[in-house]
Structure 1
Amino acid sequence: MHTENLTILFVDIAGFTATTNRQSRRQNASLLQNFESLLKPQIKKFSGQLVKSIGDALLLTFRSPTDAMLCACRMQDRLALHHQQHPDEQPIVIRIAAHLGEVRTARHDIFGEAVNLASRIEAVTPPGEIYLSEAVFLAMNKTEVQVTEVGLFQLEGFSHALHLYQVCHCAPPALPFGSHSADLLPVSQPALQRGAFVATALLLCAGLSWWFWPQQEFQPNLPAQLAPAKAARYVAVDAPALDEVAFSAEQQFGLVNAVHQAIEQVPGYYPADQQTAPQAAERIRLQVSTAVYPRPNTVTVHFQKAGVAGLTLEWHADQTEALLQKVSQSVVRQLGGQPETAQPQRQLDPAIFQLWLKAEYQLSTARQKNELAAVQTVLQLLDQDGAALEQYRPAQRSKCSAGTLLFQLSQQPAALEQIHAACQALTGPTATAADWLVYGQYQSVRGEFNSAEQALQQAIALRPGSATAYTELARLYQAANLPLEAERVYQQAVLMQPDHWYALQALAVFQLERGYLDSAVANFKKVIALLPQSANALTNLGSAYLLQGQIQAAADTYQAALELSAEASTQANLATIYYYLGRMPDAIRLYQQALLQLPDKFELHGNIADAYRQSGASADASRHYAQALQLLSRQLRLDPRELALQAHYLSHSDLQQASSVMANALTQDSKNAEIWLLDAMLQVRLGQPAAGMTSVRQALQYGFPAKLLAVEPDLATLSTKTEFQKLINPTTGR
């Protein structure tokens, strides 16, 4: 249990008991479902934490009192807007009370006098109002929320009278607390059917999303706040192309990898990759020469940082392990650091070491491409001489990392069982920061969040300047559905290394997923300033623009990304933009280019089929719909989104079967914006515009961007209706 100062909000439905006495149980359940589904997106937008939901009441906490009051205004206005849009439904009227004070937190609950006082303020708050204590009034930004004093109140259980304030109302026809209607619509990132590749490459080298929720109680233990470290400096390794006969690809990889790992040991330095190399502040020149004297195929390695004495080694394949250790120690010293003290280990048999080096090289390639078969090959290599490699910690680290990646790609629990012993071997008093980082990632995908947090904290303790370790810890909190903690640690990583692109991009992705689109755009722009030649960073920015509804800005950004690299994901994204803009020939051209790279991507076949259909090329459309359906049929199981896409593809040949499949998808997941959009399209094809409007309303409620709905060609027959226009722009027609 620990204490901290938080702003507490109590939210409850006024007159709930009287209302429920007049309703059936189904109506009661529907009212409560509307209550939570309408308010939770607003809480999310302002980084609020839902402590608990008690029937008709919510208990929330915020770190910022201003955010708490802005959220309170948005919640009141969201319900008012819903009532305007659905005048026939029972209106939901809430009261909100706020107080700021010290609370004790334990087991996902909060306790203390501040909580009791907030509850007492809620008891005197009139329906439809927002009351706040003097503590909140003094701490908040009063230019953002206008308040007025209500008076002195003697609250039950408190000996002295307290000053209370209320948030001012706005004059009609505005919403009661002045929110813009567009701001009240959910903006969390949906999966866009036509943009199946939107934001697909959000994190370079960051692995995949975590798959499991925690299996045990998880109380985060945040790292202490740090003062800003010096800005990250990237070190590029300039290595020429080498003759693989004299110096194998595995040995070349081992050499460069040893230099990279050495760079990471020095606080403030990071190894440059292809994207950061042009802007690197330091460069290490790696020279490898071959000769026939004194023996055939003699390899000499020389590497040096400008202005510092270098190191020259004669390379012998049977001494690779010892030579790489010398390389690592020399690089650390050249950068002004102190080599980490490693636990002495028995030198491996040279053949065994070469086997591990080959596996590590192939793992690096497999990680970049996310190739399932390649990862399986790596694990087979590491099992060839298991007894010897079990005693070699780097090999155990490789096996743990490979198995974790295999699980992320295959979702097969057996992959984690296979590597359990290897991962456990990474722990203990001799473990390095790299060991703890890999072990933390393994525990994360297992859902053992307490163990994962401890491991990542150990990595941070051993390498305090590692923005990468902080970023992985933040991703852990994000996976554990602890957005406040995740945001704090992401911010801490960026504070430590303001121009560390990996941390910045991870923060921007988090903000995109949370619906903080303006902040995400700002941080993606910072990443691009650091990596001006990164097509991936531009693709991410384009995705953020698309979710904002800035279609032209998204198109321009995707085009800039394509000029740097013709990635299939970027081609598909830009094709989607052209589809929405009605430029079907351009959309088809780009979808065709993407299919050359990803011929087995069923979404691409479905997307190009839609574009052909809109162009009147029905034969081509039918052919690609058939291919999409065939690819889907190869999957052992379809998730709800895939079922909805299957129904969409079927709807152009068999409406009855499409209706049955879509009903199944909605039964499995009734809160997916994309599924509701696809159902709206199906209802239009069935000649059911009223049902189509209902599905459009649901798609909006669950987060589909209104501006994209407005330009969806398959909803053209609905877009002319006044009701549709009011949904897309609620201020229209008043």
Structure 2
Amino acid sequence: MKGGNDSPILTEMQESERVDLRIKREYTQRNCMTPQDPSTTVDGARRLAAIMFTDMVGYSALTQQNEQRALALLEEHRSLLRPLFAAHKGSEIKTIGDAFLVEFSSALDACRCAVEIQRRLHERNAGTLAGHPLLIRIGLHVGDIVHRESDVYGDGVNIASRIEPLAAPGGICLSEDAARQVQNKLEYPLVPLGQGELKNIQLPVQIFSIELPWERLHRTPIARLVKLYKRRRRFVHAGGSVALLAAALWFWSSSLDPESASMSRRIAVLPLENLSSNKEDEYFADGVTEELISSLARISGLEVIARSSVMQFRKAGFDLGTVTRELGAGTILGGSVRRASGTARISVRLLDAASQRILWSEDYDRTLEDALSVQNDIAMRVASALRIQLLDAERRDLSKVGTTNPEAYRLFLLGRFHLNKRTTEDVEKAVQYFQQSVDRDTGYSAAYAGLAECNLLFAGAGYGHVPRDQAVAAAIEASDRALRLDERSAEAHAVLGYIRYRLEWNWNEADEEFRKAIELKPGDARVHEWYGLFLSLRGSTREGLEEMRRAATLDPLSPSVATGVGRLLAFDRQFDSSIVHLENVVRTHPNYAEAYFALGLSYAYAKRFSEAIPIMERAAELSGRRPVILADLGYLYGVSGRTADARRILDELNVISQRNLASPWMKSFIHFSLGEQETALALMEESLRQRDGLLVYMKTEPLTIGLHHNPRFQQILRQVGLVD
């Protein structure tokens, strides 16, 4: 999906699309060009506006191959873009097949909308394991326009339509007039591409591109850029095409070597194949894979794809090209593990994803005692092969061995194996294995960090049957012990950061812990995910979204991270965008309860309660009637007038609360939906006395907006640390 010789993008300029593009341009020229005398032929007022022209890549070719799929993709494209136009104050003028013509009152709104569109489509494409990528080009210009009846006239429209084909798939091009309005106001840089003479436009137009950080995953090689440019040159007169082509080639060629180097440093560690005769040794192969990812994630010069994304390719049947496109990786590390009679053979090879050339390979034959340091040696050899200069601190970290006890290591790997399954039964098994590991080596920091994470799930996420107070105390003790043994344990800092804000409401110390964890392990997607949620709950929703999107870059196929992006969009009050995003997550992960839960909430936040209810009911069913989901389902019943159903959920939560698994905060929402505000506030105050971790959602949670001016609610916010 991100380039490559077998990419669907190669179909984009087939004859069918060239005809389709010509029809669109002829339409634009016929209906949108400035009349000879607008003062006499146009009954609307002339005004300055920012115009956006969008066009889908490869739509006509797909229509010929599979019309039903093409129409579904077209509808998805419209449902994704239209909420974003509205969110950025854009007015849709016309839909021309698979193209949009949109008017904005300011160039900045138009550019921000364009960036958000391409960001959302990138996330959509990165999260799609199967199916057709959805790519569009966007052209922007600021100029005079005149409305007449349902049409719009002016060079502003015509120039935008001529600029659009010059954008790369997934890219944005704009005129100098538009660029001048947004210079130094966008989060991403503008890159000049040179001057071109556009068809039917008298004066040359200086063209710029917005450099999007994720575009490098599907940038066009120079050879194809020349071909595509020649095919599009009918949109640009010869006098300006040389300058524009030269500038474009300079832009692409000047960044080719650095870009190639950058892509090579985005690495995916594929699950190591278990070649042992005992298939129960699968945990060992998975554990070595995870340890390799963990070691590589400590290197600041690498961008390491997270475990949850690469493990989706554990089963055979995926060719390397598919893996590369889905993960957006430039380098692949793969191999096998064979364990027998106290020895282990770990075979690895590092491949260039584009050429499949072997960059480095090694077979490690070790006793189990010596095998404990193999992943660190591999990480350093990978850095060397990719010409990455390790920092002194990184070299010291990679020279450490967590334990010299092979049995402690084996038990630790079993603990990680079960913890990663994320079921109550498996998390409880993980605790047992981690505890046995530290019993055999009381100095094993990573095993204590594993214990801390398990107890964190017991305390704050509804796993297991451990009383909350006991789980909190155990999580704090284990994380503190891990840090006393190794102050550079990123995992322990991250867990402690979570505890500091979620359970202790110490937001400043939590921020320090998360920042420290990211400093020590910049490639850990989970830390970025946790930190993104933390920032959003604290009130910094835009910064939180950026962190969550960083997690999505590192873990592109994770349903948890994709759901997190949707939730944070909702916390930022971008409800329509959140719904569109989460509907795509649900399509991709149809059995993932958290995605349905988040989608149901987004519908609720948008006050679309009738649509929210069946989605929340599905979330409750998939989750095994998880209490926090039941609480929001009860709220939806209450606000929809289904009082009996709401009280039935309350009764169910009262039974669950006897097992210390449903907090007063959960029940308060249902009472609030039934108009019982005093009861709701009393339950929130009871949650405060119990130091309920869910209270951290109070400031950002849109469902509580009706209580924000209540003095009792404000007092709770203050004690949770969410009001100065």
Which protein is richer in helix relative to its size?
2
Larger radius of gyration: 1
Q: Same fold (TM over 0.5)?
A: no
TM-score range, shorter chain: 0.3 to 0.5
TM-score of the superposed pair, with normalisation by structure 1: 0.44
